[in-house]
């Protein structure tokens, strides 16, 4: 159920990217898509009443495996957030430069390449 | 040379140090960047015919990260680093003339090469995604490097379409982790073929990957970014895009995933064949009407990728041999053509075929190498493009698919037609708006720009002769990797 909600969030982002004409809205659409996938990855490793995946003194490995959350998706999400930030900065930089050149954020008016 | 991490750490470290050091020393970025790419080329030649599985941090295979070198990735490494070296050599004079910030350019170029090397070597699907993003982010910046309105527009279009594809791939990776709880590609393949492989979820994941990597390899339904990105990029970057990025990030990963991880099925090979054939025809038809030289070359890139994908769709060993040979050939002649376009732009400041003319007397090296490349790409013997296309067509007929062979032949003839136009307007004759007075000062380009062009032209001629001296001996290991399917890949990486 909750995975389906993540997928719906992904589709909302996809709608923003494909159907909106404003560059800022397109960038927001990409952000929504990225965070829906991050959320999905986190939820994959989540478990109710889970504990941190650290083996403390006096704890057997069995209990850890049974009750700890999966740490790997969390590591993946951190890396994914960092790459997402790099791309966001790139997108915003290009958007600002485009606004300086064309005086608008509307992508339908940026058609110099075709002429 | 067992330490595969050098392919990643060396260019990344140099890319980091160039902006720091070269504020004082103007000569630093040129020399160091060229030296680095040359060392990378030598290192990649040292790995020829080796099979190495490098464990990062010495963790065993399914748990840690591995870098895998086999026949296929070895060949791709040599291609990428060869094109990377020649492109850096060409950039020395070209960037000086058109752009301002050399240190940022080299820094981004080296990061891009790092990303491509990482994508090729990675045996872990999430790392593959990270390296792919690294290469793409730096190439977005490189495409829009001039910061004029056109450059930025092309860059933004490239960014939007490729980022959409990247997020589809990331979703696929997340779903794979959810289903199989592993990220190692060989281990995924192991789990996939151990249980129920006809799952609807697996099909969905495959579709996500096909769309994602199909976009990056410029197949036809997803090709919208190609002409704009190639047109707005600086010429050396266009050469790198055509010769390196779409090969390593798109075609290589697509083939690796279909052949070595998911396993090739009749349905997949049919999709490949149709996608390839449609790419051939549509790419070449759209190229026929173009008057901008780089845009024309970009559309031909789509159609040549079509040949490669068609060959792998047919899937017999002969067809795979042709496809792999065509990957090499296309990298050589397409980078050569883009570098020639850069030389023409360097001297005449225009790429409009209507305004060009009579360059054969003024620029003999450029025009002769462009002639060799044009003959290669349109499939005239004895140059390399003829042999690889011939092998693909013969394989198509042998496999009982004469219709696809016919499409490939038609595509080749139309390619010849549009390159005749290029030769006629740029070199032998002149365009309608040709103005003699503007061309008084046009001469041959500086010698540093001539070297890469001549090297590529010689390679185009030599690789045509490979057929005499044992094509199978050179490309045999590559075909074995792909024809072995997932079983040999699993046994190589995991050692089972």
Whichever domain contains A17, its CATH number is 1.10.287.3510
Paired tokens of B245: 């990025």
**Residue A11 is part of which domain span?**
2-49+58-109
CA distances from B53 to B60, B73, B262, B273, B479 (A): 10, 12, 21, 32, 19
pLDDT at B197: 58
Residue A115: inside a domain, yes or no? no
Q: How far apart are CA B233 and CA B297, in angstroms?
A: 13
Residue A101: inside a domain, yes or no? yes
Residue A28: inside a domain, yes or no? yes
User: Which candidate, B93, B90, B94, B106, places its Cα nearest to that of B452?
Assistant: B90
Helices (H), B244-383: 253-255, 266-288, 293-314, 317-348, 359-362, 364-377
Confidence band for B174, pLDDT divided at 50, 70 and 90: very high
Q: How far apart are CA B162 and CA B156, in angstroms?
A: 10
Q: Which residues of B touch A40 (CB under 8 A)?
A: 171, 174, 178
What is the residue whose two structure tokens read 């295979």? B61
Contact in structure between A72 and A45 (CB atoms under 8 Å): yes
User: Which candidate, B93, B94, B69, places its Cα nearest to that of B477?
Assistant: B69
Residue B347: inside a domain, yes or no? yes
Q: Which residues of A touch B130 (CB under 8 A)?
A: 79, 83
User: Which candidate, B39, B77, B216, B235, places its Cα nearest to that of B133?
Assistant: B216
Describe the crossing of helices B384-398 and B293-314 by its angle, rounded to 10 degrees. 40
Mean pLDDT within B163-190 = 91
pLDDT at B95: 87
pLDDT over threshold 80, residue B22: no
Q: Which residues of B touch A76 (CB under 8 A)?
A: 126, 177
Contact in structure between B292 and B232 (CB atoms under 8 Å): no
Q: How far apart are CA A49 and CA B461, in angstroms?
A: 67
SS3 per-residue string spanning B221-252: HHCCHHHHHHHHCCHHHHHHHHHHHHHHHHHH
Q: How far apart are CA A75 and CA B64, in angstroms?
A: 13
Residue B166: inside a domain, yes or no? yes
pLDDT over threshold 90, residue B165: yes
Residue B297: inside a domain, yes or no? yes
Residue B132: inside a domain, yes or no? no
Q: Structurally, how many domains does chain A consist of?
A: 1
Q: ipTM, 2 decimals?
A: 0.94
Q: How far apart are CA B55 and CA B119, in angstroms?
A: 16
Residue A114: inside a domain, yes or no? no
pLDDT at B198: 63
Q: Structurally, how many domains does chain B consist of?
A: 1
Residue B441: inside a domain, yes or no? yes
Confidence band for B308, pLDDT divided at 50, 70 and 90: very high
Inter-chain touch A76–B152, beta carbons under 8 Å: no
Contact in structure between B152 and A94 (CB atoms under 8 Å): yes
- A102 → closest Cβ in B149, B171, B231: B149
pLDDT over threshold 70, residue B1: no
User: Which of A42, A94, A110 should be substituted to probe chain B, the one whose Cβ sees the most B Cβ atoms within 10 Å?
Assistant: A94
Residue B171 near chain A (CB below 8 Å): yes
The alpha carbon of B339 is separated from its chain's Cα centroid by a whole number of angstroms, namely 14
Residue A40 near chain B (CB below 8 Å): yes
With a CB-CB cutoff of 8 Å, which residues 52-81 of chain A face chain B? 72-73, 76, 79-80
- A41 → closest Cβ in B134, B160, B174: B174
**Residue B488 is part of which domain span?**
147-494
pLDDT at B106: 92
Q: How far apart are CA B172 and CA A72, in angstroms?
A: 16
CA quadruple A19, A25, A30, A33: dihedral positive or negative? negative
């Amino acid at each position: 159920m909750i995975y389906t909600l993540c997928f719906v969030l992904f589709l909302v982002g996809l709608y923003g990217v494909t159907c909106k004409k404003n560059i800022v809205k397109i960038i927001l659409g990409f952000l929504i898509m990225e965070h829906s996938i991050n959320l999905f990855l986190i939820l994959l490793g989540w478990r109710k009443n889970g504990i941190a995946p650290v083996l403390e003194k006096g704890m057997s490995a069995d209990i850890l495996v049974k009750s700890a959350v999966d740490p790997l998706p969390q590591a993946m999400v951190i890396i994914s957030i960092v790459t997402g930030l790099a791309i966001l900065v790139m997108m915003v930089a290009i958007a600002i430069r485009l606004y300086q050149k064309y005086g608008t954020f509307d992508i339908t008016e940026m058609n110099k390449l075709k002429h | 040379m067992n330490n595969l991490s050098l392919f990643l750490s060396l260019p990344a470290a140099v890319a980091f140090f160039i902006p720091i050091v070269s504020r004082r020393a103007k000569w630093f970025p040129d020399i160091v960047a060229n030296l680095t790419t040359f060392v990378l080329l030598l290192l990649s030649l040292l790995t020829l015919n080796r099979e190495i599985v490098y464990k990062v941090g010495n963790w065993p295979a399914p748990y840690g990260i591995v870098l895998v070198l086999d026949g296929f990735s070895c060949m791709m490494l040599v291609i990428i680093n060869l094109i990377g070296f020649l492109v850096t050599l060409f950039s020395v004079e070209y960037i000086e003339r058109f752009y301002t910030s050399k240190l940022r350019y080299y820094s981004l170029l080296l990061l891009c090469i790092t990303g491509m090397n990482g994508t090729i070597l990675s045996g872990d699907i999430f790392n593959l995604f990270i390296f792919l993003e690294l290469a793409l982010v730096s190439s977005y910046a490189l495409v829009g490097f001039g910061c004029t309105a056109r450059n930025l527009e092309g860059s933004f279009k490239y960014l939007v379409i490729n980022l959409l594809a990247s997020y589809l791939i990331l979703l696929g990776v997340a779903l794979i982790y959810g289903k199989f709880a592993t990220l190692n590609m060989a281990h995924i393949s192991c789990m996939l073929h151990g249980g129920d492989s006809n799952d609807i979820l697996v099909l969905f994941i495959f579709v996500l990957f096909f769309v994602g990597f199909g976009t990056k390899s410029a197949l036809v339904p997803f090709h919208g970014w190609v002409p704009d990105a190639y047109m707005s990029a600086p010429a050396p970057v266009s050469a790198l895009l055509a010769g390196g990025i779409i090969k390593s990030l798109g075609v290589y990963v697509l083939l690796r995933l279909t052949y070595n991880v998911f396993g090739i099925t009749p349905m997949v090979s049919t999709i490949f064949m149709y996608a390839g054939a449609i790419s051939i025809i549509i790419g070449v038809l759209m190229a026929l009407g173009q008057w901008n030289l780089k845009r024309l070359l970009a559309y031909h890139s789509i159609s040549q990728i079509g040949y490669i994908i068609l060959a792998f769709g047919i899937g017999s060993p002969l067809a795979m041999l042709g496809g792999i040979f065509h990957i090499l050939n296309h990298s050589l002649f397409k980078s050569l053509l883009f570098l020639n376009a850069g030389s023409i732009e360097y001297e005449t400041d225009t790429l409009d075929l209507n305004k060009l003319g009579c360059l054969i007397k003024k620029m003999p090296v450029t025009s002769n190498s462009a002639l060799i490349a044009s003959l290669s790409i349109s499939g005239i013997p004895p140059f390399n493009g003829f042999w690889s296309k011939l092998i693909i067509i013969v394989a198509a007929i042998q496999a009982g698919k004469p219709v696809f062979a016919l499409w490939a032949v038609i595509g080749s003839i139309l390619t010849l037609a549009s390159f005749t136009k290029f030769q006629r307007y740029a070199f032998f004759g002149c365009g309608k708006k040709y103005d003699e007075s503007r061309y008084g000062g046009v001469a041959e380009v500086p010698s540093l720009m001539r070297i890469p062009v001549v090297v590529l032209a010689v390679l185009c001629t030599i690789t045509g002769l490979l057929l005499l001296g044992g094509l199978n001996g050179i490309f045999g290991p590559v075909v074995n990797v792909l024809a072995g399917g997932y079983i040999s890949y699993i046994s190589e990486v995991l050692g089972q």
